[in-house]
Structure 1
Amino acid sequence: MDYDVIVVGSGPGGYVAAIRASQLGLKTAVIERESLGGICLNWGCIPTKALLKSAQVFEYLNHAADYGIKVQGGEADFEAVVKRSRGVADGMSKGVQFLMKKNKIDVIVGFGKLKGKGTVEVSNAGTVKNYTAKHIILATGGRSRELPNLKQDGKKIIGYRQAMNLPKQPKSIVVVGSGAIGIEFAYFYNTMGTKVTVVEYLDNIVPLEDEEISKQLARILKKQGMNIMTGSNVESVDTSGELCKVSVKTANGVEVLEAEVVLSAVGISTNIEGIGLEEVGVKTDKGKVLVDDYYKTNIEGVYAIGDIVKGQALAHVASAEGITCVEKIAGHHPEPIDYNNIPGCTYCSPEIASVGLTEKAAKAAGYELKVGKFPFSASGKASAAGAKDGFVKVIFDAKYGEFLGAHMIGANVTEMIAEIVVARKLETTGMEMIKAVHPHPTMSEAIMEACADAYGEVIHL
């Protein structure tokens, strides 16, 4: 065998799995057809955060007077904003190249495909070569999902990849889908001065979030000038003219919207075509590879992690799966991942962060609840920072004090959610959260205060 482990794909699942494998003494290679770091580093999580930071800085400039600062007319340079975002992504990808060298991992450039027992065929620029390994980990990730009535042409109807690399700023955009990707781009373009309409099929935007969070975000985004259409469905898009004509079916009939660009943000499709799954007999179901708790497929020596398996399609999930998978291969005894304790974050402004059960789901599961809320309008740090929008909501089981879930909307809440993830991992109860002294003045105090509110002990409300 050429290697102990070959990883197909170098996104946050693949490259992390490869590094952990190398740390554990396994001879490792990564196969990548494009750029190290995958979609997350090059076209997803990282460059979008760079765009959003530019939007936030622009927003600060526009509201500088609120902080007693006089600024002479700030102007957004869209091309420079995009260029900065690409620079950040390139820097991160180079960082992964360094990590590959540091950990003595071979990087094989090309498209990897399973070829019989322990073999991966790699094709690149007309050449084909086979590599062998005892263990092959598939980490091929996902791409922007296409709807039959919303075919992407890369110019007028685009996916997330084109959305962060447009040559010029559109005057108007319709965003179809209001999950994390759709809302982040909607916020970015709206802040930069583009007229934005969000179309969501379900009754609430960010539909996976707690209902109170969804409604609060919708109120704030509308106040920022965004047009939001929920309970609506894009039936067709006519791209023949200068502007796209978007036919949207609403409760009141069909409405035709005009926009320069339509962004399809209706989720992701898995990259499982053409990688040899059928040929070697790897079982799949509804576009996902079937695996056990340690990411082993039904075929000996073949594993799968990340977007192509069950669980949330998130970078931090893929990384955790890669580590768990490799540690099991190396003979360790890792704990299976608890998919009920995975944080979700949306980086619009205000940010959203959540973990665990929503109030609706907790009630449906039969729990008797203690629910606490603390608004940032009552937080000293939030007032000083000029970031009073939003709140922290916590949900406990009334009987045993189990921390069932937390949902936040506000400034920097994506940094605060980790406290809840750790607390839930350690099976911390509501009373323990209240008695854990939080620093003052901070945004994180709102967590302690929300917990206190659940138990009727809140001080600052």
Structure 2
Amino acid sequence: MVVGDFANEVDVLVVGGGPGGYVAAIRAAQLGRKVTLVDKGELGGVCLNRGCIPSKALISAADWVQQLKDAARMGIRVNGDITVDLPELMKWKDGVVKKLTGGVATLLKGNKVDVIKGEAYFSGPDTVRIATEKDSQTYQFKDCIIATGSRPAELPSLPFDGKRILSSTEILSLQEIPKRLLVVGGGYIGLELGTAYRKLGSEVTILEGTDSLLPGVDPSLVRMVTRRLKKLGVTVVTGAMVQGGESSDDEVKVTAQVKGEEKTFAADVVLVAVGRKPNTDELGLEQVGIQKDERGFIKVDKQLRTSVPHIYAIGDVAGGALLAHKASYEGKVAAEVIAGKPSEVDVRAMPFVIFSDPEIAYTGLTEKEAKEKGYDPVVSRFSFQANGRALTMDAADGFAQVVADKESKQILGVQIVGPEASTLISEAVLAIEMGANAEDLSLSVHAHPTLPESLMEAAEGVLGHAIHMVKR
């Protein structure tokens, strides 16, 4: 602190206004603490502004286009070509984002959270320097929550240029549908956005370095998505290790080693989606002694405390699954710990959702993981082909699968690939968190005709008396 610079005293300082930070700020305020939130960007963070929400808006619009194309199967015919006004679509998407970010600002104001637009840099174990457009001031805090999120990882051999080689941020703001889109990375981000642009009219090729799309996801779920990509006309190249690329005025050429052979792929736009990096390198954490792991994520305990006990870290910067809902959950835990409550991270069933076509969602243990943990699992799978609602939606590809302990019939995990899997998984999460067994799920009356009946049927399959599938 320089001579003559008097620190502004704050109670709880939250650094970052994304789904972790703003939730932590509101929860801390609800518990009686005086909260100040600082964010250098837009309230809502990456999720609301450059991630979850705008990408799902784009995906929903693309699904509408595809449904119109497929409607002929129902006797509905669209005369003439289907045209997409991308600038208008982006304008609509931005309106959705603006509405939600405005809602966050209203919630923070309503909970009397002071908001500062600026960039925070730790100058000591209980002080930060906040630089705004006007000045730079020192703030002294009692407790602090770091929630600065993450950013797209860059390939050294294929750096972003913001014009033809894009991150997931720029691809969400295009004003023209690229004729040829090359996606580097077959994880959930590349798959979701690649599929959306294919439905909007792009020729799409996905390059993935491993042997399969969506590395780490149950192969039986991935197979359904891979089959659908083939029907949509998406080219998928696995075992493709990108070596570099050259950008010109009218195209990009990317070279990759594909199973020992060098190949070149040309495109109008390249989306590089190879993971994310934590925003921990420009905070001055070394001034505080906060420990990070080898990848730059902040180390925390079950109460989200860092190596400096009165400083907490939540969301993407704290590692683990990089999920907005995980960040929000952790934000509540950290706020409650600061308020003196005995809260800690205790999750039995974290939901994972991929907005592919069809959607993928899973939680709890897979059959393999259950065996590794010493269970004797029984697996029951119910196909959406036998679900009346899925058939009436013309969306019967996929299945709901329940993994349970053979002796106790306790539900250990659920995997779903199919229509509205993102919504269906919530019932599974609740069942696992409450320690439900297959009988609890099967005896709960499910409305007909609805998609959740598939979970009920799969649970009945665990018990050996499913009505709408033949016992194997």
Match of 1:374 in 2: 382
Output one character per residue of 1:62-106: Cα deviation in whole Å (capped at 9) or x when no partner.
122223323223211111111111111111111111111111111
Match of 1:264 in 2: 272
1:445 aligns with 2:453: yes
TM-score by length of 1: 0.97
SS of the residue 2:173 aligns to: coil
Amino acid paired to 2:54: P
Match of 2:18 in 1: 11
1:63 aligns with 2:70: yes
Written as runs of structure 1 = structure 2, the 5 A alignment for 1:70-85 is 70-73=77-80, 74-85=82-93
Residue ranges of structure 1 left out of the alignment (5+ in a row): none
Which of 327, 350, 354 pairs up with 1:346?
354
**CA distance in 2: counterparts of 1:220 and 1:145, whole angstroms:** 28
CA contact (8 A) 1:204 1:215 kept: no
Residue ranges of structure 2 left out of the alignment (5+ in a row): 1-7
Greater shift, 313-322 or 362-371, is seen at 362-371
Greater shift, 244-253 or 286-295, is seen at 244-253
Amino acid paired to 1:275: L
CA contact (8 A) 1:156 1:261 kept: yes
1:386: Cα distance to partner?
1.0
**CA distance in 2: counterparts of 1:162 and 1:83, whole angstroms:** 15
Identical residues among aligned pairs (%) = 40
TM-score by length of 2: 0.94
Greater shift, 59-68 or 193-202, is seen at 59-68
Written as runs of structure 1 = structure 2, the 5 A alignment for 1:241-260 is 242-251=250-259, 253-260=261-268
Match of 1:420 in 2: 428
Match of 1:221 in 2: 229
Greater shift, 47-56 or 228-237, is seen at 228-237
1:430: Cα distance to partner?
1.8
Match of 1:48 in 2: 55
CA contact (8 A) 1:40 1:315 kept: yes
Amino acid paired to 1:448: M
Match of 2:328 in 1: 319
Amino acid paired to 1:255: K
Greater shift, 32-41 or 73-82, is seen at 73-82
Output one character per residue of 1:184-207: Cα deviation in whole Å (capped at 9) or x when no partner.
101110000100111111222112
Match of 1:296 in 2: 305
1:310 aligns with 2:301: no
CA contact (8 A) 2:121 2:128 kept: yes
Amino acid paired to 1:26: R
Amino acid paired to 1:31: V
**CA distance in 2: counterparts of 1:423 and 1:395, whole angstroms:** 12
Match of 1:86 in 2: 94
Written as runs of structure 1 = structure 2, the 5 A alignment for 1:353-432 is 353-432=361-440
**CA distance in 2: counterparts of 1:423 and 1:216, whole angstroms:** 25
Greater shift, 305-314 or 317-326, is seen at 305-314
Amino acid paired to 1:141: G
CA contact (8 A) 1:233 1:250 kept: yes
CA contact (8 A) 2:14 2:147 kept: yes
1:335: Cα distance to partner?
4.2
**CA distance in 2: counterparts of 1:182 and 1:419, whole angstroms:** 28
Match of 1:188 in 2: 196
**CA distance in 1: counterparts of 2:89 and 2:249, whole angstroms:** 29
CA contact (8 A) 1:244 1:258 kept: yes
**CA distance in 2: counterparts of 1:439 and 1:101, whole angstroms:** 41
1:243: Cα distance to partner?
1.8
Match of 2:170 in 1: 162
| CA spacing shift, 1:326–1:402, aligned 2, 3 Å | same
CA contact (8 A) 1:180 1:345 kept: no
1:331 aligns with 2:331: no
SS of the residue 2:303 aligns to: coil
Question: Paired residues, what number?
Answer: 460
| CA spacing shift, 1:253–1:380, aligned 2, 3 Å | same
**CA distance in 1: counterparts of 2:383 and 2:158, whole angstroms:** 39
Match of 1:458 in 2: 466
SS of the residue 2:441 aligns to: helix
1:125: Cα distance to partner?
2.5
CA contact (8 A) 1:210 1:359 kept: no
Amino acid paired to 1:264: V
**CA distance in 1: counterparts of 2:240 and 2:464, whole angstroms:** 40
SS of the residue 2:256 aligns to: strand
SS of the residue 1:153 aligns to: coil
1:398: Cα distance to partner?
1.5
Match of 2:46 in 1: 39
1:126: Cα distance to partner?
5.7
- After the TM superposition, which segments of 4 or more aligned residues of structure 1 sit over 3 Å from their partners? 363-366
SS of the residue 1:406 aligns to: strand
Amino acid paired to 1:281: G
Which of 112, 129, 138 pairs up with 1:121?
129
Output one character per residue of 1:295-335: Cα deviation in whole Å (capped at 9) or x when no partner.
11111321111101132110000000010011011011224
**CA distance in 1: counterparts of 2:351 and 2:147, whole angstroms:** 21
Output one character per residue of 1:12-47: Cα deviation in whole Å (capped at 9) or x when no partner.
000000000111110001101111111100001011
Match of 1:110 in 2: 118
Match of 2:3 in 1: none
Greater shift, 5-14 or 117-126, is seen at 117-126
Amino acid paired to 1:118: D
SS of the residue 2:79 aligns to: coil
CA contact (8 A) 2:251 2:267 kept: yes
CA contact (8 A) 2:302 2:344 kept: no
**CA distance in 1: counterparts of 2:67 and 2:333, whole angstroms:** 42
Amino acid paired to 2:227: R
1:58: Cα distance to partner?
1.0
**CA distance in 1: counterparts of 2:70 and 2:406, whole angstroms:** 43
Amino acid paired to 2:49: N
